[in-house]
Amino acid sequence: ECLYFLEENDLIVTNNNHLQATPLGQLVSRMYIDPLTAVTIVEDLKKASQSNMELTAFSLLQVICKTPDIRTLYLKGDEYFENLNYADDHKNEIIIFPDIDEISEISAESFVQSIKNARILLDWIEEYETKDIVEDYSIGEGDLHSLSESASWIAHAIQRISKLKGFDIQNI
């Protein structure tokens, strides 16, 4: 199953019973990211490109935050509905917006957690005070630091993958 996944997603090819990494597979290996992260990035950028969607910083932050390389920050109290409402208000910025009623509870919660994380990162890159972000989202400073470091790493991966695959994200 693993080899099938890698081959189906253009990470490896089979030549005469030998496995060989594709350019995307080599990049994923060099950048030390989860192959599923790369697949998520490629699928989302492809969908955005095909729909001529105008990507925003929030669009890419949400893609970053739904990858397995980003540790999710848990939802507390009313945060599920608060972030779901935010997502609904910004659905034109979300590349793949799932039908919450049609997906599993775990998938719905993961989607909403990615929205929360993306909002935190958006506030961070817009240079809100750390103390305000920590207070507004009920997180620790270490959580913010860890999230921003991981997101920076995945943002670099998005840039490299988009260049390799020919997706234009330069104006964001």
Q: Which pLDDT score is estimated for 171?
A: 61
Q: What is the pLDDT of residues 121-147, one digit of tens each?
A: 999 999 999 999 999 999 999 999 999
Q: Which pLDDT score is estimated for 93?
A: 95
Q: Rounded mean pLDDT of the chain? A: 94
Residue 172 pLDDT class (50, 70, 90 cuts): low
- The stretches of 2-89 forming alpha helices (DSSP H) are 2-8, 23-31, 35-50, 57-65, 79-89
CA separation, residue 11 to residues 3, 35, 142 (Å): 9, 8, 34
Residue 120 pLDDT class (50, 70, 90 cuts): very high
Crossing angle for the helix pair 105-125 and 57-65, nearest 10 degrees? 130
Averaged pLDDT for residues 80-89: 96
Structure tokens at 34: 């989860």
Phi and psi at 160, nearest 5°, equal -70, -40
The answer to whether 83 touches 111, Cβ cutoff 8 Å, is no
Q: Which pLDDT score is estimated for 62?
A: 97
Residue 156 pLDDT class (50, 70, 90 cuts): very high
- Pair type for strands 18-21 and 12-15: antiparallel
- Which among 28-37, 51-60, 103-112 has the top mean pLDDT? 28-37
The pTM of this model reads: 0.91
Phi and psi at 75, nearest 5°, equal -85, 135
Q: How far is it, in rounded angstroms, from Cα 122 to Cα 125? A: 5
